[in-house]
Structure 1
Amino acid sequence: MDLNKIKRVYFIGIGGIGMSAIARFFNENGVHVSGYDRTETALTRQLVEEGMEIHYTDDVELADKQAELVVYTPAIPGTHAELIWFVKQGYEVVKRSDVLQEITKELYAITIGGTHGKTTTSTLIAHILRHAEYGCNAFLGGISANYDRNFWSSTRQVAVIEADEYDRSFLKLHPDVAVLTAIDADHLDIYGTEKEVQEAFIQYTRNIKAKGTLVAKLGLHRAAELKGDHHIWYHLDDSKADIYAANIRPAEGGYRFDVIQQDWKLTDVYLPVGGTHNIENTIAAIAVAHLLGITDGRIKAAIADFKGIKRRFEYLVKNDYQVYIDDYAHHPEELRALITSARALFPERKCVVLFQPHLYTRTRDFAEGFAESLSLADEILLLPIYPARELPIEGVHSEMIAKMISKPVQVIQKEEVLPWIKANSAPLFITAGAGDIDQFREAAEEILNGKGIVENEAIKKKA
């Protein structure tokens, strides 16, 4: 597969966050790009505006039969008519990870893997390199709030790539710098056991190129088995790490802190994004930027300008009377970090979390962990499980989690969400999940912002 010679590419599942980044890569390099997706979204509409052709019916007659390369996402079922036709006709049909594999072979590759934090960390690294005018080709698993994009290009032969562990696709990558944020049990429907998850991440580090660097969180499971000719260990605040934060203090919904690394120090860094876990993600990004020779002033300026990623501790409403945070959290540890950080920033507010469990298998495997993390809130609302690619499993439902929670909790249907928000008090409101819970964002933002305005006016009248 010579990416430089391809003139037409067809994508099956073009609207996926990872797929659309690769589609944009080809499109910006003058390749004719078209594709299929199940439903039209804001992202697919953007792709069409950028010149790509997209249809939403699984119909071979609508597919590009002149395509030299067909790229599909592992989320597409094996029964998909277009996918079956292209395979039977002998087209070159590859997964998106195969394309990323070729990119990592050709460019200086910085890949970011881990069960949590990889989207924020990869977007931070790519943002620093772009803001500092160093430049990179960014392939991200989220939409950067700074640029409203999950991909951007550069003439510099450097790629920043989010390394997805689902379907073991990240094992095809060959990084020069590999970042590893976390190794927790997840995707057990794919891996089977936590040990197999760990083995996969160890293999991820074995793929680091000769003389390459591993930037990994201090304290990971089986850390002694992680490879890489050079190691940089980072941590939120553990001074045993090679690089860590000190003097952390809340500031304007974000944080200020110093960064310590052996004989180097970066003082008074301002991160305008909430969540102490995002400080740790920033430490990893700073370690990579410093490794590449980005100057202190440019690193600090880039971080201060970082607006975050859509659906990663994203403030939709933030005023003196109402805070609404939306987050992609869909694992117990992600929920724990999200709720803990939000409560630390807004300690006096009643915290209500609306959570949509993602996948029957994940709910089954981590029900107790979900209940424990959600119990950090004052009140919990649970939506039914979002199935994604899975069929129902008997006895697995959101009530499993609800039964383990001691705080006020209820399972509600989608049509009940907005009436609940209108009728109840939630000064600190959080929506979390990786399914379609984001469909409530705009309406919930409008309701909660209005409540803040009403509360403000009421206080003014009393004064």
Structure 2
Amino acid sequence: MNLNNIHSIYFIGIGGIGMSALARYFKANKKQVAGYDKTPTDITSDLTDLGIQIHFEDAVELIEPSFLNPNTTLVVYTPAIPKNHSELQYFINNGFNVLKRSQILGLITENTFCLAVAGTHGKTTTTSILGHLMKECNVPLTAFLGGISENYNSNLILNGTEVSVVEADEFDRSFLTLSPNMACITSMDADHLDIYGNADALKESFVAFSKRVKKDGKLFVKNGLPIKGITYGIEDDSDYTIQNIKIENGTYVFDVKTPKAVLENLKFNLPGRHNLSNALIALAMSVEYGCPHQQLAKALASYKGVKRRFTYQIKTENLVYIDDYAHHPEEINAVHQAVREMYPNKRVLAIFQPHLFSRTRDFIDEFAKSLSQFDDILLLDIYPARELPIEGVTSTWLLDKIENKNKQLVSKAELISKIQESHAQVILTIGAGDIGEEVKQIKKELSIAS
């Protein structure tokens, strides 16, 4: 398909983080853009401000007539949309080109020099660091991010069209639509077992992705993963490795040994060893692309992060409130490590909303173990997203397995009062569901109280 011949793009699920980045991209490229989503959010509001028409009812009659020509309109949908969605069915049954988000990314990037970031954790942060580093080095790129960059207040970085930086998403095997010139794999922990069935099938898909890298391309892998490539790691014998780590005023200061040189006294402001690892692979890919070391060092120090990735909402001497997207046990462990490293002597309250019934079931013991590390735990009901309930899989089941007496199951209505009852000096909201919608109010109430 030649995207140049397409005049209108209609998105089903336009408010999704990956979908909205594509909507911004096509709008910036002078296409007509409109879409449907289930509920209004800050993202849909931002898209509306750009002049994109969005409605929130699944009804074909609400679609602008100019989008109902199969010869000039491309339809993009997210796998989270149910197959019986009436708008989706209308487009399928009336001869429109209907493609998944991942297929569109494949089309956009196939004529660019593509850098792809894969892994069960760290994709969004790594992609946003990589996009920021390369933009600051004046690379003519478009970066599609799975989160809102604090540096650009957007999930799209536009600085040209010769190079593309993308997240290579393993969900639904989406990353197999890409053919990158450079790629990295940050992690291969079991996840999305509702799609894959078992961990071996997930690993096989990462092997298949590694073979999608072009023959003259480069693949980077975190040291220890069972796939061959240029290795990276922290304080080990990798091709790219971080050495001499210090923390100065909440900032990491460190050296990076590359195959050809040592970059000294680099600075990075995000806490947590997992974020150091993300910074390292973004730096390694930028170095291999050819970005100047001095500019990279400056760009790394100016990186601010991604919203809902260890995002400070309140940071005072007496109270710290951090919001994070973590929704897998390993991600919760990473948040815990970062908090304990930065605030070793403070009491920590974790408020967690499990995401998906299947993920909660598949990792129930691991979730219990990771949450038990915090001093106090408030647990919300499971956020279903695309799923129907599974019998016996509840937050009560998870709560019973947490080995910590300071734990409670709470509703959203009582959340703020329960937080205010806590004596914790560090408060965390964690999860990938709609817990993010509660952050503004929690911040407001905590700010008043303090």
CA separation in 2, counterparts of 1:379 and 1:423? 11
CA separation in 2, counterparts of 1:307 and 1:380? 28
Out of 70, 74, 77, the position equivalent to 1:69 is 74
Q: Which amino acid aligns with 1:212?
A: G
Contact 1:340 1:376 (8 Å CA) reproduced? no
* CA drift at 1:263: 2.8
Q: Which amino acid aligns with 1:313?
A: F
CA separation in 2, counterparts of 1:182 and 1:97? 20
**Alignment pair present for 1:22 and 2:22:** yes
Contact 2:355 2:432 (8 Å CA) reproduced? yes
* CA drift at 1:201: 0.5
- The aligned counterpart of 1:411 is 409
Contact 2:139 2:163 (8 Å CA) reproduced? no
CA separation in 1, counterparts of 2:266 and 2:210? 30
- 1:45-444 → structure 2 map (5 Å cutoff): 45-63=45-63, 64-66=67-69, 68-220=73-225, 222-223=226-227, 226=228, 231-238=229-236, 240-407=237-404, 408-444=406-442
CA separation in 2, counterparts of 1:210 and 1:4? 28
- The aligned counterpart of 1:460 is none
CA separation in 2, counterparts of 1:345 and 1:204? 36
1:343-395 Cα shifts (integer Å, max 9, x gaps): 11101110110000000000000010011111111111110000001111111
Q: Give 3-state SS (helix, strand or coil) of 1:403's partner.
A: helix
Q: Give 3-state SS (helix, strand or coil) of 2:125's partner.
A: helix
* CA drift at 1:109: 0.4
1:163-212 Cα shifts (integer Å, max 9, x gaps): 11111111111100011100010000000000000000000111001210
CA separation in 1, counterparts of 2:443 and 2:173? 37
**Alignment pair present for 1:36 and 2:30:** no
* CA drift at 1:156: 4.4
* CA drift at 1:234: 0.4
CA separation in 2, counterparts of 1:450 and 1:299? 40
Contact 2:325 2:431 (8 Å CA) reproduced? yes
Q: Which amino acid aligns with 1:429?
A: I
Q: Which amino acid aligns with 1:164?
A: D
> Does 247-256 or 28-37 show the bigger shift?
247-256
Contact 1:322 1:451 (8 Å CA) reproduced? no
Displaced runs of 4+ in structure 1, greater than 6 A?
A: none
Contact 1:11 1:71 (8 Å CA) reproduced? yes
1:267-314 Cα shifts (integer Å, max 9, x gaps): 111111111110000000010111111111111111111110000111
CA separation in 2, counterparts of 1:278 and 1:155? 27
Q: Which amino acid aligns with 1:42?
A: D
Q: Which amino acid aligns with 2:178?
A: L
- The aligned counterpart of 1:457 is none
* CA drift at 1:416: 1.1
Contact 2:245 2:254 (8 Å CA) reproduced? yes
CA separation in 1, counterparts of 2:274 and 2:441? 28
Q: Which amino acid aligns with 2:442?
A: A
CA separation in 2, counterparts of 1:321 and 1:248? 27
Q: Which amino acid aligns with 1:419?
A: S
CA separation in 2, counterparts of 1:400 and 1:336? 20
* CA drift at 1:451: 4.2
CA separation in 1, counterparts of 2:268 and 2:57? 43
CA separation in 2, counterparts of 1:136 and 1:7? 23
> Does 420-429 or 81-90 show the bigger shift?
420-429
TM-score, length basis structure 2: 0.97
CA separation in 2, counterparts of 1:85 and 1:72? 13
* CA drift at 1:37: 0.6
Contact 1:249 1:256 (8 Å CA) reproduced? yes
CA separation in 2, counterparts of 1:5 and 1:252? 53
1:132-169 Cα shifts (integer Å, max 9, x gaps): 22231011100000111001223240000011111111
Q: Give 3-state SS (helix, strand or coil) of 2:209's partner.
A: helix
RMSD, aligned CA:
1.1
**How many residues align structurally?**
444
TM-score, length basis structure 1: 0.94
Q: Give 3-state SS (helix, strand or coil) of 2:339's partner.
A: helix
* CA drift at 1:331: 0.3
CA separation in 1, counterparts of 2:261 and 2:161? 27
**Percentage identity across paired residues of the two chains:** 44
